[in-house]
C-alpha cells in the first residue's frame, strides 16, 4: 500500500532509513523534528507498506516560487527501499505518488538528487521520468 506517512510511522521510518547510506538508528526518537514535519503542509513523506511494515519511502517538499508564473517546484529526497524488498516496483510507486503530490500543488517541475553513481540506479530514476541532462546538481555540505 502506498500512502503518506502518519503520526505513528516514525519508528518504522527510522528503521527503514538505516538502509539509506548506513544511517544509524537514533538513540532517541527525534519527536520534535517529526512533529515539525507533520505540521508542515508542504512536506510529504510517501511510504510503501508491506505486511504492516514500511519498506520503501521518499520525501517530497513543495517550494513556493516567484518565477515560472509563481508556480512552486518540488524536491524529492531520501528515496529508499529495504534491501530485501527491492525490485518489486515499490520505490517507483512512491515516486509516482510524489509526482502526483507535485502535480496537485501545480508545481512546474520536480527535482531529485542522488548520491549514487551506479548506472543501474541512474537508469531506475530515468525510467521513473527523471533525466540527467537538463540541470547540473551542485552540493555544498555544511558543518
- Which regions of the chain does DSSP assign to beta strands (E)? 2-4, 43-50, 53-63, 73-81, 110-112
pLDDT of res. 21: 82
Among 39, 48, 34, 30, smallest CA distance to 96 is for 48
Domain 2-127 in CATH 3.90.79.10? The answer is: no
pLDDT over threshold 90, residue 140: yes
Domain boundaries along the sequence of the chain? 2-127
Among 43, 47, 41, smallest CA distance to 15 is for 47
Burial of 56 per CB tally in 10 Å (0-12, 13-18, 19+): buried
SS (H, E, C) 76-113: EEEEEECHHHCCCCHHHHHHHHHHHHHHHCCCCCEEEC
C-alpha cell at 72: 512552486
pLDDT over threshold 90, residue 5: yes
Average of per-residue pLDDT across 10-36: 92
pLDDT of res. 38: 97
pLDDT confidence bin for 122, thresholds 50/70/90: very high
Q: How far apart are CA 20 and CA 114, in angstroms?
A: 11
pLDDT digits (tens, 9 = 90+) for 39-95: 999 999 999 999 999 999 999 999 999 999 999 999 999 999 999 999 999 999 999
pLDDT of res. 115: 86
Query: What does the buried/exposed string (b/e) look like for 19-28 if buried means 16 or more CB atoms within 10 Å of the residue's CB?
Result: beeeeeeeee
- pTM value surpassing 0.85: yes
pLDDT of res. 138: 87
Residue, of 60 and 29, whose pLDDT is higher:
60
Tell me the percentage of the chain whose pLDDT exceeds 70: 100
Amino acid at each position: 500500500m502506498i500512502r503518506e506517512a502518519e503520526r505513528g510511522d516514525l519508528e518504522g521510518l527510522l528503521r527503514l532509513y538505516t538502509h539509506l547510506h548506513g544511517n544509524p538508528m537514533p538513540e532517541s526518537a527525534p519527536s520534535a523534528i517529526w512533529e515539525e514535519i507533520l505540521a508542515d503542509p508542504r512536506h510529504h513523506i510517501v511510504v510503501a507498506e508491506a505486511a504492516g511494515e514500511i519498506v520503501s519511502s521518499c520525501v517530497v517538499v513543495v517550494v513556493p516560487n516567484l518565477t515560472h508564473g509563481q508556480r512552486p517546484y518540488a524536491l524529492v529526497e531520501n528515496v529508499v527501499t529495504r534491501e530485501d524488498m527491492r525490485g518489486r516496483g515499490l520505490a517507483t510507486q512512491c515516486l509516482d505518488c510524489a509526482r502526483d503530490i507535485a502535480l496537485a500543488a501545480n508545481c512546474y517541475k520536480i527535482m531529485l538528487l542522488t548520491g549514487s553513481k551506479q548506472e543501474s540506479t541512474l537508469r531506475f530514476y530515468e525510467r521513473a521520468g527523471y533525466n540527467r541532462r537538463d540541470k547540473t546538481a551542485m552540493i555544498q555540505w555544511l558543518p
